[in-house]
Amino acid sequence: MTHTGAPLVEMRDISIAFGGIKAVDHVTVNLYPGEVVGLLGHNGAGKSTLIKCLSGAYQADSGQIFINGQPVAINNPRDARAQNIETIYQTLALADNLNASANLFLGREIVTRHGMLDESAMEAETRKIMGRLNPNFRKFNVPVSALSGGQRQSVAIARAVYFNARILIMDEPTAALGPHETQMVAELIQELKRQGLGIFLIEHDIHNVMKLCDRASVMKNGQLVGTVNVNEVTDDDILGMIILGKKPARAA
Amino acid sequence: MTTPPHPHGQAQDASAGPLARFLAATEIDTRLLGMAGALLLIWVGFHVYGALFNNGGAFLTPRNLWNLSVQMCSIGVMATGMVLVIVTRNIDLSVGSILGFVGMVMGLLQVEWLPPWLGLGHPAIWIITVIVGLSLGLLIGAFHGVLIAYLAIPSFIVTLGALMAWRGAAFLMANGRTISPVDATFQLLGGGPYGAIGSRGSWIIGILACLAVLWGLYAARANRRKHDFPLRPMWAEVFMGALGCGLILAAVLVVDAYPWPKGIVKAYAEAKGITIPPEGLFIPHGFAYPVLILTVVALTMTVLMTRTRFGRYVFAIGGNPEAAALSGINVRWMTVKIFALMGMLSALSAVISSARLTSATNALGQTDELYVIAAAVIGGTSLAGGVGTIYGAVLGALVMESLRTGMVLIGFDTAIQNIVVGCVLVVAVYLDIVYRKRAK
């Protein structure tokens, strides 16, 4: 697959260390519109840390981030949201004591002209988007702690999708889900791709990677092993990269 | 997609008992019902005990209820702020000491610092005092908040240190002297015969409050209809309106039935040149100013917590601080604001307490922090964070104060009072834990 023009996102030469341990060591990855790039590697390989530099949870020690070829500074989650970067975290990052609509709009509430929260408008919008993503969802007035894993996941996804994300980061979106819900997420990813979003997908399941991703960037011990086009390699090649840190000879 | 949404689970209700159906229809919080029941039990219990063993019950009298309403205000005001602190998984042990220190500064301001400059009894003295006091409380609280949020010192430690430091500072301000008497206008803020709005004012406020309740119910119903959300049954709306208005009017009747003492009436009549008829002059107190202050604070804080972004973020931080931060909420700055608000409310309580005492002493507000925390926790604020209501905290303060005055009335001494209040706190929290487990 060849891309022309500037990538939607380029993270160039990113490094970040925690107390002398190089969690991410001079890694460069990029992402084009309508593309899903898988980030793979063992636990502790640095995938989540790398991606948190993009979502604003961490600041890189060195390196630069470009959005549409323009260098940007992302110092906190607000900056990331301002760049239409939305993240679905592995831990879902929901406030358990709040209901679905409060979580969906957290940090971006709809307010009335008097500056008060417009609960009914937010609930109505939540009903709309949930009707699209997960039509079986009914529990609008209970704290999300009372929801199942799949329902919580759909709230987290709704939050990312609702605000017109251009760049979506998904950290193991199917880890807590059953087969039916996993299929739902897979369909959603295809739909979002068609809409031209770029998606970084952190994923452990090699079958999901082969099915969902266009390219895969593999990390090991904080360093980038390599980036391959998924349709040019076998799952064994990718496993070799993850386990041995060896890039297959035939891949570009 | 055409089936209307039923968030309250109508199917479940059909099989439930009449009480459960009633609660579901009126949407009354069962916790609230439990607290109201406990309060009623305490009130009736003390009254009956007094009637049986102390020659006539003295608890459910206009006089005692009026005093109770005034005495709970200082704790009540601070408890509303403590809800925010505890909901965000912090604690503030310093509120009593802030109260003492700010009270002392305000006492010195109006007794020793301002009069030489403005003249004794100058009408601006109380205004300057209150503004300086509230600002000082705000700054002290903000300072604690900065230490907690930006230097990452646990709130328990910061406020434990502050508990000792500000109490010491209060002593040093006047070398332990009692500063008295405070400005005459300032004294009104603490209640007392002149510090109340009288009969007519109470009725006006009561009727306005009833209208507000009815309008609120109507607006909520209209809003639900607008968004096609399920409506409460009409009888439930009528019941809620009647209950709200009934409680308000009952409160007005109580404060309207408590007359000024004879001595005050005599002094007042002499000053105004009224001749007192032989059967005596019945001048009702009406709502005391501190009660109105507490009401305004509680309403403002409720709106803040349930209708604004600020309140939403307080709950979000309490529920999951990490998620709140990842959602772009500035958790540190929020912490500073919450402690600043707590400091300002402590200063407001300092106004009420020192005005009620008509003096400032360095012991003002001692151990108040424990009652404030107890009130918030009894009122359903979870120490695990994320859960709590303002009305619960105010009710908690009323429960604590009812226990205290009730035991004074039936002649328990301080030692027994402390034992009872301590046990009640532990039992109340245990019951709350049982309730929450069942609710799940």
Residue type, B173: M
Beta-carbon separation of A95 and B223 below 8 A: no
**DSSP-derived secondary structure for A170-208:** EESTTTT--HHHHHHHHHHHHHHHHTT-EEEEE---HHH
B43 three-class SS: helix
Q: How high is the ipTM of this complex?
A: 0.83
The whole-number pLDDT of residue A6 equals 80
Residues of B in contact with A114 (CB under 8 A): none
pLDDT score of A252: 46
| B329 vs A contacts (CB less than 8 Å) | 106-107
Q: Which two three-digit tokens encode residue B254?
A: 């109580």
Q: Which residues of B touch A81 (CB under 8 A)?
A: 328
pLDDT at B170 exceeding the cut of 90: yes
Give contacts of A123 with chain B, Cβ < 8 Å.
227, 229
Average pLDDT over residues B25-29: 78
Contact A97 B223 (CB under 8 A): no
Q: What is the DSSP string of B296-362?
A: HHHHHHHHHHHHSHHHHHHHHHHH-HHHHHHTT--HHHHHHHHHHHHHHHHHHHHHHHHHHHTSB-T
Closest Cβ–Cβ partner in A77, A92, A108 for B325: A77
Q: Give the model's confidence band at B10: pLDDT under 50 very low, under 70 low, under 90 confident, else very high.
A: very low
- Res B3: pLDDT: 40
Cα A231 to Cα A146, A220, B105: the distances in Å are 41, 22, 76
More confident residue, A231 or B80: B80
Q: Measure CA A98 to chain center.
A: 23
The distance of A3 to chain B (nearest Cα, Å) reads 32
CB pairs under 8 A between A and B: 89
Integer Cα distance of A100 and A95 in angstroms: 9
Look at residue B93 in the predicted model and tell me its pLDDT. 97
Residue B178 is classified by DSSP as: P
The helix/strand/coil state of A9 is strand
The pLDDT of residue A130 is 87
Out of B224, B226, B319, name the one closest to residue A98 (CB). Answer: B319
Of the candidates B28, B403, B399, the one whose C-alpha atom is nearest the C-alpha of residue B237 is B28
HSE at residue A135, side-chain half, CA atoms within 13 A, is 5
Q: Which of B308, B315, B387 sits opposite A116 (nearest CB)?
A: B308
What span, in angstroms and rounded, lies between the C-alpha atoms of B116 and B412?
A: 45
Distance from the A27 Cα atom to the nearest Cα atom in chain B, whole angstroms: 23
Distance of CA B306 to the CA centre of its chain: 17
With CB atoms and an 8 Å threshold, state whether B322 touches A138.
no
Better-predicted residue by pLDDT, B351 or A170 = B351
pLDDT at B7: 43
User: Cβ of A140 and B224 within 8 Å?
Assistant: no
Task: Give the closest of A97, A124, A138 to B227, CB-based.
Answer: A124
For B323, the closest chain A residue by CA position comes to A93
pTM: 0.88
- pLDDT tens string B294-322: 999 999 999 999 999 999 999 999 999 99
Whole-number pLDDT of residue B28: 79
User: What's the topology of domain B30-194+288-439?
Assistant: ABC transporter involved in vitamin B12 uptake, BtuC (1.10.3470)
pLDDT band at B30 (very low <50, low <70, confident <90, very high): confident
Q: Which residues of A touch B5 (CB under 8 A)?
A: 127, 138, 140
Complete domains list, chain A, with CATH: 9-84+165-244 (3.40.50.300)
Burial class of residue B29 in the structure, from the number of CB atoms within 10 Å of its CB (0-12 exposed, 13-18 middle, 19+ buried): middle
Q: How many CA atoms lie within 13 A of B391 on its CB side?
A: 11
Distance CA A115, CA B139 (A): 26
Nearest neighbour of B312 by CB, restricted to A91, A109, A135: A109
Report the distance separating Cα B255 and Cα B158, nearest Å. 41
Nearest CA in chain B to A81: B328
Please state, in angstroms and rounded to a whole number, the distance separating the CA atoms of residues B42 and B254: 18
Of B16, B233, B229, nearest in space to A141 by CA: B229
pLDDT at site B101? 97
Suggest the residue from B309, B315, B381, B383 to mutate for an interface test with chain A (most A CBs closer than 10 A): B309
Which residue in chain B has the smallest CA separation from A142? B7
Q: Where are the domains of chain B?
A: 30-194+288-439, 197-283
CA distance linking residue B35 with residue B379, whole number of Å: 8
What are A200-235's pLDDT values in tens digits?
999 888 888 888 899 999 999 888 998 989 888 888
Do residues B344 and B134 make contact, with C-beta atoms less than 8 angstroms apart? yes
